[in-house]
């Protein structure tokens, strides 16, 4: 049986309050009773299922309307696949190009239709990302963003007559230094077809939000231009510490309009709860001289600018949490559109029509009421990809366990959903449920708690788990390690909750648990601890870092993988022996790497930003770290390979071999 819904991926260190509220108020968790496909439902030749969490809309449909908002209708009519986005009018208004995931959830390919929605035509479709497509003025060539040949976002050109493709930006002349972000986005043809403008974060720094301290990266973009044959690469506009994005040409080709926002605002712009606290403006630049001009002066976030009325006006999208403020603006007037969301608009050359996407953020990627037959694209031919729960773990006897929807219990079942059991952890421990957590004078949690990170014992008889305040709540509330029998009995508190302790993992012989402890800053302890279950002894494994996190014993018990904060802006995957010797850093990309987990074969999977952004940060609406991809490597850090290649955040993989299904 297919999964009928999916779960928001967990932000690895600083899970936002917005997302936490979403999890509390919406049933987006996979109903474990429905289970995964049985062995008999697996395609021939597949080794099993790899589940993952993906932060993405459940559905995204294209709409077209008059510029005043009237006559709104679906661009593609009664389509059966509702996962299309990033539409763009051709220069003559004849065609609309767009990105679609109709070949499988997460697989972005490029199509075009006539402006009336007819004549669907596939333009580029490979296992790589193909996105942000724009036709040349004569409609003979396509400029687009692709992750082909190295997983990073580059600008490509395709000759639609011959099928020939070439990479404009991954060249010796254009590409940035290897230690820097190096993505290329939002190509735009000049009216005469002689230039392609685009944005890039080449030669910038990896930088977290909140002045660099946050896990989620911000983005600094400049505007560049290049000839379609790859010559005459030039910088058009830049502003240190700012993000200049989504350039569009004036009809006479003399100016480019773009949005300009402070670098840290590229975090706020993709968090609706922060929209009211952020402001940016629309600017333009003279292509020949570099002279810039501010075009707006309003108190909203503004993106997706475009010249209208022969270059005499500007249309754009405003992001705002205020009533009657956000939405599409045409010549400084808000357009009344009867949809709850409008994103990534494109106006026709004559300014009479606008095409945009409207999406639904829940449930998440997977089979939905819009498309009950939806599938997840599998980039690994040996495994069938499916959406799964956060922090799901598999026992040696083939049982799965994961936190429940409200994170107040643990769900246990066979992978097919049979023999399911709910263990009400909060009720058994404190008889409390969400929301407000309190602390009693003795330091023990007295209130609603989160149950996170279950771990099976090797004999499948016990489940260890962290119980307390996690993610943002860890700064104010403690957490402790508990264990219980797999049948829900015999609850035991193993640690004292004097600090925040969580994410346990059993050693191969079941005698030890490794877990992390966390401050908060200035008043507490940090690092990894080993707990001897029989002797009731805690040993310090690491103690010098602010953010050693998410430890995991290897299947043979010889090493422990974990995430370490290496400096203010970078996290890496590391391993160490249980005796504290032979520390190794396995990832060195400069981007954030987190949440390592061992496979049953003794390899390590993790989520990484090494491939960089696939789009401008401002063009996401509810994705705090949208560029995370799932990777796999050997235990010594060799043979690194990317397992997912979507434009969304993918994390938390779990392999379910055929024999357990």
pTM for the predicted model, two decimal places? 0.89
Higher pLDDT pick, 660 / 322: 660
Name the token pair of 18: 């917005």
Rounded Cα gap, residues 353 and 610, in angstroms: 39
CATH top-level class for 123-357? mainly beta
Q: Tell me which of 52-66, 455-469, 500-514 is least confident.
A: 52-66
Greatest Cα pair distance in the chain: 79
Residue 365: pLDDT above 50? Answer: no
Q: Do domains 17-55+393-660 and 123-357 have the same CATH topology?
A: yes
Alpha-carbon distances of 210 from 94, 262, 265, 643, rounded to whole Å: 44, 12, 10, 30
Q: Are the CB atoms for 113 and 123 separated by under 8 Å? A: no
Token match 């490794």: residue? 514
Q: Residue 442: what pLDDT?
A: 38
Q: Are the CB atoms for 482 and 467 separated by under 8 Å? A: yes
Q: Which has the closest alpha carbon to 201: 169, 229, 162, 173?
A: 169
Q: Which has the closest alpha carbon to 8: 373, 389, 368, 376?
A: 389
Q: Which has the closest alpha carbon to 218: 172, 255, 271, 258?
A: 271
Q: Which has the closest alpha carbon to 612: 152, 64, 168?
A: 152
Q: How confident is residue 243, by pLDDT bands cut at 50, 70 and 90?
A: very high
- The proportion of the chain whose per-residue pLDDT surpasses 70, expressed as a percent, equals 84
pLDDT in tens, 324-340: 678 899 888 888 887 76
Please, which residues have CB within 8 angstroms of residue 279's CB and are 6 or more apart in sequence?
Answer: 298, 299, 300, 301
Q: Are the CB atoms for 137 and 91 separated by under 8 Å? A: yes
Q: Residue 338: what pLDDT?
A: 72
Rounded Cα gap, residues 165 and 171, in angstroms: 14
Its sign, for the CA torsion 13, 14, 15, 21, is positive
Q: Tell me which of 122-131, 188-197, 402-411, 483-492 is least confident.
A: 402-411
Write b or e for each residue in 478-497: b if 16 or more Cβ atoms lie within 10 A of its Cβ, otherwise e.
bbbbbbbebebeeeeebbeb
CATH top-level class for 17-55+393-660? mainly beta
Strands 255-262 and 130-135: unpaired
> What residue ranges do the domains of the chain occupy?
17-55+393-660, 123-357
Rounded Cα gap, residues 242 and 199, in angstroms: 12
Write b or e for each residue in 408-423: b if 16 or more Cβ atoms lie within 10 A of its Cβ, otherwise e.
bbbbbbbbbbeebeeb
DSSP string across 498-558: SSEEEEEEE-TTSSEEEEEEE--TTSS--EEEEEETTTTEEEES--S-S-EEEEEE-TTSS
HEC assignment per residue over 410-446: EEEECCCCCCCEEECHHHHHCCCCCCCCCECCCCCEC
Q: Residue 24: what pLDDT?
A: 27
């Amino acid at each position: 049986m297919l999964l009928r819904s999916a779960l928001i991926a967990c932000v690895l260190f600083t899970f936002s309050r917005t997302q936490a509220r979403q999890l509390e108020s919406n049933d987006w968790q996979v109903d474990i009773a429905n289970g995964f496909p049985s062995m008999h439902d697996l395609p021939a030749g597949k080794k099993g299922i790899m589940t993952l969490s993906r932060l993405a809309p459940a559905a995204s449909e294209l709409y077209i309307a008059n510029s005043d908002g009237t006559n709104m209708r679906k661009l593609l009519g009664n389509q059966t696949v509702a996962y299309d986005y990033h539409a763009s009018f051709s220069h003559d208004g004849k065609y609309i190009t767009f990105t679609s995931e109709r070949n499988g959830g997460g697989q972005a390919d490029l199509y075009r239709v006539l402006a009336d929605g007819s004549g669907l035509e596939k333009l580029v479709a490979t296992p790589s990302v193909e996105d942000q497509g724009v036709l040349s003025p004569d409609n003979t060539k396509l400029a687009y963003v692709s992750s082909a040949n190295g997983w990073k976002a580059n600008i490509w050109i395709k000759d639609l007559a011959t099928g020939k493709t070439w990479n404009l930006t991954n060249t010796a002349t254009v590409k940035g230094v290897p230690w820097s972000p190096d993505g290329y986005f939002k190509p735009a043809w000049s009216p005469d077809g002689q230039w392609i403008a685009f944005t890039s974060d080449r030669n910038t720094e990896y930088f977290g939000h909140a002045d660099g301290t946050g896990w989620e990266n911000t983005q600094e973009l400049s505007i560049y231009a290049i000839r379609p044959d790859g010559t005459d690469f030039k910088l058009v506009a830049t502003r240190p510490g700012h993000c200049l994005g989504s350039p569009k040409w004036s009809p006479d080709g003399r100016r480019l309009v773009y949005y300009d926002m402070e670098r840290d605002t590229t975090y706020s712009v993709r968090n609706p709860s922060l929209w009211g606290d952020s402001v940016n403006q629309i600017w333009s630049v003279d292509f020949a001289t570099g002279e810039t001009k501010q075009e707006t002066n309003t108190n909203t976030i503004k993106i997706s600018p475009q010249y209208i009325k022969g270059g005499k006006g500007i249309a754009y999208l405003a992001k705002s949490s205020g009533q009657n403020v956000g939405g599409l603006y045409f010549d400084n007037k808000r357009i009344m559109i009867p949809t709850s969301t409008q994103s990534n608009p494109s106006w026709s050359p004559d300014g009479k029509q606008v095409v945009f996407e409207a999406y639904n953020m829940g449930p998440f990627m997977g089979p939905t009421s819009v498309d009950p037959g939806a599938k997840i694209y599998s980039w690994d031919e040996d495994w069938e990809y499916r959406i799964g729960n956060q922090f799901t773990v598999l026992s040696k006897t083939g049982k799965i366990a994961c936190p429940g929807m409200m994170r107040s219990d643990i769900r246990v079942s066979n992978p097919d959903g049979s023999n399911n059991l709910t263990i009400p952890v909060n009720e058994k421990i404190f008889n409390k449920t969400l929301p407000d957590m309190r602390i009693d004078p003795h330091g023990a949690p007295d209130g609603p708690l989160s149950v996170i990170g279950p771990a099976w014992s090797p004999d499948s008889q016990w489940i260890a788990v962290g119980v307390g305040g996690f993610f943002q709540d860890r700064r104010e509330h403690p957490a402790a390690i508990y264990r219980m029998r797999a049948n829900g009995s015999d609850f035991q508190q193993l640690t004292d909750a004097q600090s925040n302790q969580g994410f346990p993992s059993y050693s191969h012989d079941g005698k030890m648990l490794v877990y992390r402890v966390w401050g908060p800053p200035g008043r507490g302890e940090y690092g990894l601890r080993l707990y001897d279950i029989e002797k009731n002894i805690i040993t310090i494994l690491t103690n010098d870092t602010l953010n050693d996190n998410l430890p995991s014993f290897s299947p043979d018990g010889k090493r422990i993988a974990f995430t370490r904060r290496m400096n203010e802006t970078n996290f890496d995957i590391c391993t160490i022996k249980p005796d504290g010797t032979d520390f190794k850093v396995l990832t060195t990309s400069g981007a954030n790497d987190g949440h390592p987990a061992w496979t049953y074969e003794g390899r390590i999977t993790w989520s990484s930003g090494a491939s960089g952004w696939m789009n401008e940060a401002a063009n996401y609406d509810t994705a705090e770290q949208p560029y995370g991809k799932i990777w796999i490597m050997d235990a010594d850090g060799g043979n690194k390979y990317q397992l997912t290649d979507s434009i969304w955040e993918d994390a938390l993989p779990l392999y379910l071999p055929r024999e357990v299904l």
